[in-house]
Each structure stands twice: as structure tokens, then as C-alpha cells.
Amino acid sequence: MTSPGTPTPNYATPPSGGGGMPKWLMILLVVLLLIILGCCGGFATCTYLARRAVNAVPAVVQQQMQNQGVTVNANGGAIDMPADFPADLPVYQGMKPVSSVTPPGTKSGTVTFTGTAAPAEMSAFYRTQMAQKGWTPVLNSADADGFNQHYTKDKRFFHVSGSGKAGDSTLMLTYGDQ
């Protein structure tokens, strides 16, 4: 309420003397605009750098693993057999090597294969082959899901295990000095 004699303010027209936006509001808007543009530019830069880092990590990790004697093809493709894999150890035909662990400075390792052979077929193959090559059986166990066999010869050991079913099986060969 206004007292008698006080003019009633007119809110429809801006006050005289300078008009427009106050300076403090204009400065605030400019600062906010700079912050927003800086964040967007920073976000784009961060996104670019993050993508480059993510793309570089697999190669770096793969190299570090290889330096430690570990080879894995994460895409499911075959890998090369370890250079020091013993010549007198058989590999079941048709099995694809997918990973290997061969610690540097040792004569031991593990190679994992995938394939389509039935575990019972692989088990019979290794029993026959290892006997023919002069290896002594230490363990031979099998069930419906797979098998384990362990052999020794000349202060060396060889362990073979298989699992899965015909059409989708895994074979693991572990070898080394006793």
C-alpha cells in the first residue's frame, strides 16, 4: 500500500538512467559462458585422450604379458606354439593353441588348446602316444566330463588334461623339469 500523495510506481516501463542488464549480471553470464565452453572443450579433450589410452592399453598389456612368458589371443584366434615346447610331446591333431604360459628362464610351461575332439578320444591318444615315447604314467583318471594324465621321463614331467564334449573341448598341456 502507498500513502496518499506518493506516486504509484509503473512496473511496465524500465527505470530511467542506464536501462538494460546490470553489469554484475552481464559479468556473471560471461563467466558462466567461459566455464561452459571450457568444460565442453575440456570434456572433448578428455574424451579424446581417454579413447586413445583405452586403444593403447591392450597392446601395452599384451607386450607386458609376453615379457612374462604369457601369450593369449583375446580375439579367440590361434597363437604360435612356444619356441621351447618339447619335441617329444604330442599335440592332439585339430586342437588350436589359444594361450600359453612359459616363464622366462625355465623349461616349463602350459599351453591351452580348444577344438572339437571328444575328451575320451584325446585321453586314448595320449595313453598310446606317451607309452610309445617312453614316458611313465603316474596318474590316469577320467570321468564323463574329462580326463587327467600325468607322466614322467628323464627328470621331466608332462601333465595333460581335457574337458568338454565332442564339438567343444579344451586341452591343457603342462610340461617342465621335476
Q: How confident is the model at residue 4 (pLDDT cuts 50, 70, 90)?
A: low
Residue 11 in any domain: the answer is no
- 101 near 70, Cβ under 8 Å? yes
Residue 41 in any domain: the answer is yes
Residues 86 and 120 in one domain: yes
pTM to 2 decimals? 0.64
Residue 1 in any domain: the answer is no
Residues 123 and 135 in one domain: yes
Helix residue ranges, H only, the chain: 23-67, 119-132
C-alpha–C-alpha distance, residues 70 and 117, integer Å: 25
Write the pLDDT tens digit of every residue in 97-118.
Answer: 988 888 888 889 999 999 999 9
**Residue 84 to residues 71, 87, 152, 171, 175: CA-CA distances in angstroms?**
14, 8, 18, 19, 11
* pLDDT (mean) for 158-170: 91
Residue 8 in any domain: the answer is no
**Eight-class DSSP state of 120:** H
Residues 29 and 91 in one domain: no
Average pLDDT, the chain: 79
Q: Is the pLDDT reported for residue 16 higher than 80? A: no
